[in-house]
A and B are shown apart, each in its own frame.
Chain A
Amino acid sequence: MPGTAALPPIRELVLEEITKRFPGVLACDRVSLTVRRGEALALVGENGAGKSTLMNILAGLYQPDGGRILVDGAPVRFRSPADAFARGIGMVHQNFMLVPSMTVAENVALGLRTLQRGLRLDLREARRRVAEVSAHHELPVNPDAHVWQLSVGEQQRVELVKTLCLGARLLILDEPTSALTPQETDDLLERLKRMTAELSVVFISHKLNEVKALSDRVTILRHGAVVFSGETANHSTRELAALMTGHEVEVARNQGGGAAGRPILEVRGLRVRGDRGHLALDGLDLEVRAGEILGLAGVSGNGQRELAGALAGLRPAEAGSIRLDGEEIAGATPRRIIARGMGYIPEDRHHEGIVPAFTVKENLVLKDFAAARFSRGGLLRLGEIDRNASGLRERFDIRCASTGTAAGALSGGNIQKVILARELARGPKALVAVYPTRGVDMGASEFVHAQLLALRAREAGILLVSEELEEIMNLSDRIAVIYRGRILEVMPAREATRERLGLLMAGVAHA
């Protein structure tokens, strides 16, 4: 490759005793690790274990307070991401660093100083490099596509291509699969596996099946320190999970039993338009009974978001009916639907599930602050709001400095616990949970699962929307598969297999 051919591959990268402090936190405590050429190293740990901090140091975004970095035996100092790139180290962040209104080639050109001559930008060269890199690494991208038009999976490929175009020979990937569908995930792992033939990869994750599939070696961080390093092949996911969380992990499982009762949520012929004006739901029928978890499997973008929005009253239904415990709620206001006993764990927990600037205790009464328990004559009863918060904080193990902390400052898992606490404490008749464990760590997702099962035992009807087949298969009584705005098939969970669900999700009916 021109421009990058001169740079030799990195034979060995060593982090030695890296230490980093933030106010009140020791984020990395003398962490050492080694990555060799052609190797995929998985860096594993729960949220807040220090993985991202460590990689941000390696990528030049943070400076370590102690320790050093050696590339091929020579100590280096990275004062900025540009320094790290100059040494061949490039990072793909969890939240993509792309300008949505620009094309792929323009995004790549942004990072290439050599293409910027005065006010002129050599876009033709950028386009050529994108084409070259994407052909070489089998990462198909269209250099002229605008980033906003691309799916999340495609944007991920653009990030990879961009990082490679900038000359990265050691790729750091921060939870690269957290926003991908199962198919996109498999596809990405496949590509990364091939790329390790010429590059080194550091892969941050807490999904252990992906770690097993991709990595040669694994390093586990807990509370900022390395607790384990070894060959991936020699250890089971169960062992790794125990090392990561510090205790044996119990997989929550729906044991069946407790015959499902009356229908709680009945959806008939529902038609709802998506954001782009197309019919995202086109005559959808669905029934959730009391005391059951109905798993809704499907590749995201097949109408799940619109279904959840319509059930919560946040999206208008063009036709069809939705009954909550026998009462029609299609077209009702969110407030009335909430009052009738609907709980909702939304997909976008940071902006829809909580008001980030509000305190934890305010968020815990977001739906009920006007109820008699929390207000009298229009005045808030602060004492009661406090008591409610400390009770729920205890019960749901919400880790925060105090309930007066801004909820937006919590980790993803803890934000999800705040939402869960608020929704479950209201004793809902029906609960719609959309991707409830996406991006949360193993400990928190274990907790979420256990709580969903406990709610099921209390005779609520739960609609669980997820892309994780394992989650759906472990928790559901029945599984429905959604494809292009309709339910393709509903089956009892015990009859479902990964293969059958996978085919249905791809739109192959009567599998």
Chain B
Amino acid sequence: MPSRFRLAYAAAVTLAAAAAAVAVAALALRAVGASPWATFGVILTGPLQDLFGVSEVLVRAVPLTLVGLGIAISFRSGILNIGAEGQMQVGILCGTAVALALPALPRPLLLPLCLAAGAAGGAAWGGIAGLLRARLDVNEILSTVMLNYIAAQLYTFLLRGPMIDPAELMTGSGTPQSMRLPRSAWLDRLVPGTRIHAGLYLALALAALVWVLLWRTTLGFRMRAAGAGPRAARYAGIPVERSLVGAMLFAGGFAGLAGAVEVAGVHHRAIEAISSGYGFAGIVVALFGGLHPAGIVPAAAFFGLLLFGADMTQRSAGVPANMVLVLQGVVILAIVSAKMYLNNPYAQERAARLLRRLGVRIGAVAPAGESDSAAEEAGP
């Protein structure tokens, strides 16, 4: 098949997938009584109409990028980590605890320490699943999902009990949240009047670092080899189990860092539902971005747009914000199906055949004259 046909095929599949996603989403919106076109319009353009909107999109893109980077490392290393949500919550707890425990430390020490504690907490939580897989061959999808439940309960328990802001107990309102972090543990706000913070630079820098890690270092080579071909990696002397644990430490660390950054940059205290599904959306971001940092950063921005746009639709179009979860699901299905068709040569062949039967001329059915010289050369 000529490359022109293959390009057209890829374009057609992509367009068809996008159209299908739009159609299904439109049906779902209709079902809740909203106008699909107005909703799409609000989601995709609403946030971009002023500086505040753009900043809010970026605020959401930061944790999505960080989680997505960790997911990319773990998926590429052959471990399907679904536990970013739990790892992020543990990261929030650890970062908050360290910042509250050492309020007297100067800023250049406290802020890094707070972020490092978040990363370490997430890494430890992820490491549990890694160790279970490496030592006992426990399926990591199961273990990470279960660890999510445990983390969620731990989070609620600590915020309602030991870590609750004493002021909440005194006033008796009892909102489950920690004390406010000392100012020396806050990330700088970049633009006055918005919530966009220095975590943005951190996310971009780490995206570049992850690229270096995966494709330019021996450690990355080891992890990718263990992920892409575990038997061959073992054969070549790569300790595959150790690499799995390492990958989970990285993945958990990134998720935990995302949590700590969210506290230090946006909320300045641990409150309920900070993670708000970033841990799951990050998986989608990583897959949407092709498990590559250069894809993950724009994918995170796009999903940040979807998330904030969905918030806006609640106000301006009367659509429940939870509908964005439906849209996310639809987008994932469309991506997965499109990939199936793009990678399947038989489907491509069938499409070519169908077109030919419909009388469309494709380069493949070239006139016989073209191959004359080759035939003569090979003749007896």
Interface residues of A (CB under 8 A from B): 17, 19, 21-23, 26, 29-30, 62-63, 65-66, 79, 222-225, 227-228, 312, 314, 333-335, 337-339, 344, 346, 348, 351-358, 362, 366-367, 369-370, 375, 378-380, 382
A67 and B235 alpha carbons, distance in the complex (Å)? 47
Given known contacts A355-B232, A380-B216, A380-B221, A30 and B237 CB-to-CB distance under 8 angstroms: no
Which of these binds chain A: B60-68, B335-343, B360-368?
B360-368
Query: In the complex, what residue of chain B is closest to A20 when comparing beta carbons?
Result: B364
Interchain residue pairs with CB less than 8 A apart (16):
A23-B1, A23-B2, A79-B353, A224-B378, A225-B375, A225-B379, A227-B378, A314-B234, A333-B239, A334-B235, A337-B237, A346-B235, A354-B229, A358-B225, A366-B236, A382-B216
Q: On chain B, which size bracket covers the interface?
A: 35 or more
A87 and B279 alpha carbons, distance in the complex (Å)? 56
Please pick, from B218, B235, B365, the residue contacting A65 in the complex, using a CB distance under 8 A. B365
User: Are A353 and B232 neighbours in the complex by a CB distance under 8 Å?
Assistant: yes
Q: Which residues of A contact B231 (CB under 8 A)?
A: 348, 351-352
B137 an interface residue at 8 Å Cβ cutoff? Answer: no
| Shortest distance between the CB of B12 and any CB in chain A (Å) | 17
Q: Interface residues of B: mostly helix, strand, loop or mixed?
A: helix
A281 and B228 alpha carbons, distance in the complex (Å)? 31
| Shortest distance between the CB of A60 and any CB in chain B (Å) | 12
Q: Interface residues of A: mostly helix, strand, loop or mixed?
A: mixed
Q: Which residues of B contact A79 (CB under 8 A)?
A: 353
Q: Which residues of A contact B368 (CB under 8 A)?
A: 17, 19, 30, 66
Please pick, from A29, A228, A344, A357, the residue contacting B235 in the complex, using a CB distance under 8 A. A344
A337 and B235 alpha carbons, distance in the complex (Å)? 11
Chain A CB within 10 A, most for which of B1, B216, B218: B218
Query: In the complex, what residue of chain A is closest to B5 when comparing beta carbons?
Result: A23
Given known contacts A352-B231, A352-B232, A375 and B218 CB-to-CB distance under 8 angstroms: yes
B141 an interface residue at 8 Å Cβ cutoff? Answer: no
Given known contacts A26-B374, A225-B375, A227-B378, A378 and B218 CB-to-CB distance under 8 angstroms: yes
A17 and B375 alpha carbons, distance in the complex (Å)? 11
Q: Which residues of B contact A30 (CB under 8 A)?
A: 368, 371, 375
The contact string, 1 if C-beta is below 8 Å from chain A, for chain B 177-203, is 000000000000000000000000000
User: Are B218 and A334 neighbours in the complex by a CB distance under 8 Å?
Assistant: no
Please pick, from B237, B365, B375, the residue contacting A334 in the complex, using a CB distance under 8 A. B237
Q: Which residues of A contact B216 (CB under 8 A)?
A: 379-380, 382
Q: Which residues of B contact A227 (CB under 8 A)?
A: 378-380
Known: A79-B353, A348-B231, A351-B231. 8 other contacts (CB 8 A): A29-B374, A227-B380, A334-B234, A339-B237, A356-B229, A362-B225, A370-B221, A380-B217
Q: Which residues of B contact A19 (CB under 8 A)?
A: 368, 371
Q: Which residues of A contact B365 (CB under 8 A)?
A: 65-66
B233 an interface residue at 8 Å Cβ cutoff? Answer: yes
Query: In the complex, what residue of chain B is closest to A355 when comparing beta carbons?
Result: B229
| Shortest distance between the CB of B75 and any CB in chain A (Å) | 13
Q: Which residues of A contact B3 (CB under 8 A)?
A: 23
Please pick, from B6, B225, B353, B379, the residue contacting A366 in the complex, using a CB distance under 8 A. B225
User: Are B380 and A357 neighbours in the complex by a CB distance under 8 Å?
Assistant: no
User: Are A312 and B364 neighbours in the complex by a CB distance under 8 Å?
Assistant: no
| Shortest distance between the CB of A67 and any CB in chain B (Å) | 9
A355 and B353 alpha carbons, distance in the complex (Å)? 34
Chain A CB within 10 A, most for which of B218, B228, B229, B371: B229
A357 and B78 alpha carbons, distance in the complex (Å)? 13
| Shortest distance between the CB of A77 and any CB in chain B (Å) | 11
Q: Which residues of B contact A66 (CB under 8 A)?
A: 365, 368
Given known contacts A19-B368, A23-B3, A378-B218, A335 and B239 CB-to-CB distance under 8 angstroms: yes
Given known contacts A63-B349, A334-B234, A344-B235, A23 and B225 CB-to-CB distance under 8 angstroms: no
| Shortest distance between the CB of B301 and any CB in chain A (Å) | 28
User: Are A367 and B378 neighbours in the complex by a CB distance under 8 Å?
Assistant: no
B347 an interface residue at 8 Å Cβ cutoff? Answer: no
| Shortest distance between the CB of A432 and any CB in chain B (Å) | 11
B142 an interface residue at 8 Å Cβ cutoff? Answer: no
Given known contacts A23-B3, A357-B229, A352 and B235 CB-to-CB distance under 8 angstroms: yes
Q: Which residues of A contact B375 (CB under 8 A)?
A: 29-30, 225
| Shortest distance between the CB of A494 and any CB in chain B (Å) | 35
Closest 9 A/B residue pairs (Cβ): A355-B229, A335-B237, A225-B378, A357-B228, A366-B236, A334-B237, A370-B218, A355-B232, A338-B237
B219 an interface residue at 8 Å Cβ cutoff? Answer: yes
User: Are A228 and B1 neighbours in the complex by a CB distance under 8 Å?
Assistant: no
A29 and B375 alpha carbons, distance in the complex (Å)? 7
Q: Which residues of A contact B238 (CB under 8 A)?
A: 335
Please pick, from B221, B232, B364, the residue contacting A354 in the complex, using a CB distance under 8 A. B232
Given known contacts A338-B236, A348-B231, A223 and B378 CB-to-CB distance under 8 angstroms: yes
Q: Which residues of A contact B379 (CB under 8 A)?
A: 225, 227
Q: Which residues of B contact A380 (CB under 8 A)?
A: 216-218, 221
A270 and B84 alpha carbons, distance in the complex (Å)? 46
Q: Which residues of B contact A224 (CB under 8 A)?
A: 378
Q: Which residues of A contact B218 (CB under 8 A)?
A: 369-370, 375, 378-380
Given known contacts A65-B365, A65-B366, A353 and B221 CB-to-CB distance under 8 angstroms: no
A355 and B219 alpha carbons, distance in the complex (Å)? 16
Interface residues of B in 1-44 (CB under 8 A from A): 1-3, 6
